[in-house]
Amino acid sequence: MDIATVGVIGAGTMGGGIAQNLAEHGLTAMVFDSTPGQVARAFDGIAVALARGVAKGRMKEAEAAAARARLIACDALDRVARCDLVIEAVFEDLAIKQALFRRLAPMLAKDNLVASNTSSLRIDELAAGVPGPERFLGLHYFSPAAVNRLVEVVRGAATSQRNYDRALAFARATGKEPLACRDAHGFVVNRFFCPYLNEAARLLEDGYTTGAVDHVAREIFAAPLGPFAVMNITKPRIALHAQRTLGKLGAFYEPARVLVESGEADRAWTIAGDAPADSPARSVIARRLQGAVYLPVLQLIDEAVAAPTAVDLGARVALRWDMQPCAAMDGDGAEVVRQTLEPVLKRYGVAPPRSLARVGRLLGPS
């Protein structure tokens, strides 16, 4: 691992969490934010999190103090730009990110890595503004970034193998499980997780209760929380934004009406209604949620965005699903999965994914 200093641009929810993770793993984090006082606020938050770690016995006070000392506030971009790795975590806005990369371009060191933590923009589009796009890639952390162990390491069309390997080594050295993938809308986890949230909203439109949907979802994916409870934590407006970005991929991905309403109002869902007592309702909810996950998973496998093992890693580590999509499909077998997908393909006019033929041995030798 040849990275010792990391520049973090943007000290909001994600930048703060990323800086904490770096400092806890022995790296120097040089942090810049354009909002006055934001870096100090982020460092105060990190100090509180570290103190909590000490109180819970997860680290010694000396380790927390050493981590705090590795956090350096920068009031100019040029110091940040010369770090071994620069991670951009500013607002999710293409024009803002592109303007930032234009400013950074003349300041970058000759051979440093540059990464974006974007959730929904394309890495190749951002790389176009960086001199030496072979150094550019996505490092997509999951919230809370100091805690969630998954990082999607996104290879752009121009990213060199050497730089990609450096990024994978960096992710491992900072205690993360890197999910290797190519640049694509939603990368891997959001490509199937957002449609799953969206299908939950469609089920609500069709008269199923939020409580029933959450209950069945927890059961079939062995998930800690159902989709409505998750959206209440991550905010319906974020779910809507992510789904709208995926909407470019076709009708199946277009946001449900009730998701648009809740997202635009940024209104939490009321979770009510019991587990469905009758098995037809339970089976409709289960089939529809499975279909909404399986279709994008098989599509992204067709598109060679990531391997089936990487999909399951994402579900297990980022979402904490004990029942992962590819393992579940292999368990069900091709015929059951075909039946699960049939109504989805018909309703949205989608061609059957080619990798449907591999179901049963997705996780086996290809």
- Which residues bind to ligand NAD, rule: CB under 6 A? 9-15, 32-35, 38, 89-92, 96, 100, 117-119, 141, 143
SS (H, E, C) 59-124: CCHHHHHHHHHCEEECCCHHHHHCCCEEEECCCCCHHHHHHHHHHHHHHCCCCCEEEECCCCCCHH
Minimal CB distance to ligand NAD: which residue? 12
At its nearest, how many Å lie between ligand NAD and the CB of residue 360? 33
> Is 198 an annotated catalytic residue?
no
> Is 160 an annotated catalytic residue?
no
At its nearest, how many Å lie between ligand NAD and the CB of residue 263? 15
At its nearest, how many Å lie between ligand NAD and the CB of residue 247? 16
At its nearest, how many Å lie between ligand NAD and the CB of residue 90? 4
- Which listed residue (21, 117, 119, 232) is catalytic? 119
Q: Which CB atom, from 193 or from 208, has the smaller least distance to ligand NAD?
A: 193
In angstroms, the Cα distances linking 52 to 167, 206, 274 are: 30, 44, 36
Q: Which CB atom, from 100 or from 197, has the smaller least distance to ligand NAD?
A: 100
> Is 152 an annotated catalytic residue?
yes
- Which listed residue (24, 88, 112, 152) is catalytic? 152
Q: Which CB atom, from 34 or from 270, has the smaller least distance to ligand NAD?
A: 34
- Which listed residue (140, 163, 198, 199) is catalytic? 140
> Is 163 an annotated catalytic residue?
no
Q: Which CB atom, from 76 or from 351, has the smaller least distance to ligand NAD?
A: 76
- Which listed residue (112, 117, 163, 190) is catalytic? 190
At its nearest, how many Å lie between ligand NAD and the CB of residue 70? 20
Q: Which CB atom, from 39 or from 337, has the smaller least distance to ligand NAD?
A: 39
User: Which residues are identified as catalytic?
Assistant: 119, 140, 152, 190
